[in-house]
Amino acid sequence: QKEVEQDPGPLSVPEGAIVSLNCTYSNSAFQYFMWYRQYSRKGPELLMYTYSSGNKEDGRFTAQVDKSSKYISLFIRDSQPSDSATYLCAIGLGTYKYIFGTGTRLKVLA
C-alpha cells in the first residue's frame, strides 16, 4: 500500500463548479498536510497547509483533514479556467520531509 494515494484524474468541470480533490494516507503518524498547485512544466506552489483535523479556509479554497479516516480534501469553490493545473497533496511527519501524492489533473472548462 502506498503511503499516500491520490486519484490522478483527469477531472474536467465547468467553470463555476465546486471541485473536490482527495488524498488518503496510511500512516497515522503523519502530522502535516499540504496542498500544492503545479502548472505544466513549473514547480509546485503551496496553496494550503494544516496540521489538525477540521477545515481551513482561504478564499475559494478549503482544506479538510479527517485524521480518524486518514483522509484529506481540497475544495475549490467557483472554479475558474485559471485553476486548471495539477493539484498535489503532500503529507509530512514531524520534520520537513514530505511525501507527495501522484497529483490530480484538473481542467476547468470555460
Partner 1 sequence: GAVVSQHPSWVICKSGTSVKIECRSLDFQATTMFWYRQFPKQSLMLMATSNEGSKATYEQGVEKDKFLINHASLTLSTLTVTSAHPEDSSFYICSAYSGSSYNEQFFGPGTRLTVL
Residue number, 101 or 108, with CB nearest to partner 1 = 101
C-alpha angle 57/67/91, rounded to 5°? 75
CA-closest candidate to residue 79, choices 18, 5, 9: 18
Identify residues 57-96 at the interface with partner 1 (CB under 8 A). Answer: 88, 92, 95-96
Number of residues that bind partner 1 (CB under 8 A): 24
Judged by CB under 8 A, which stretch of 34-42, 54-62, 64-72, 74-82 contacts partner 1?
34-42
Residue (of 31, 27, 25, 37) closest to 108 by Cα position: 37
Segment lying near partner 1 (by CB under 8 A), choices 11-19, 54-62, 69-77, 97-105:
97-105
Other C-beta atoms lying within 10 Å of the C-beta of residue 47: 18
Q: Which of 13, 49, 70, 75 binds partner 1 (CB under 8 A)?
A: 49
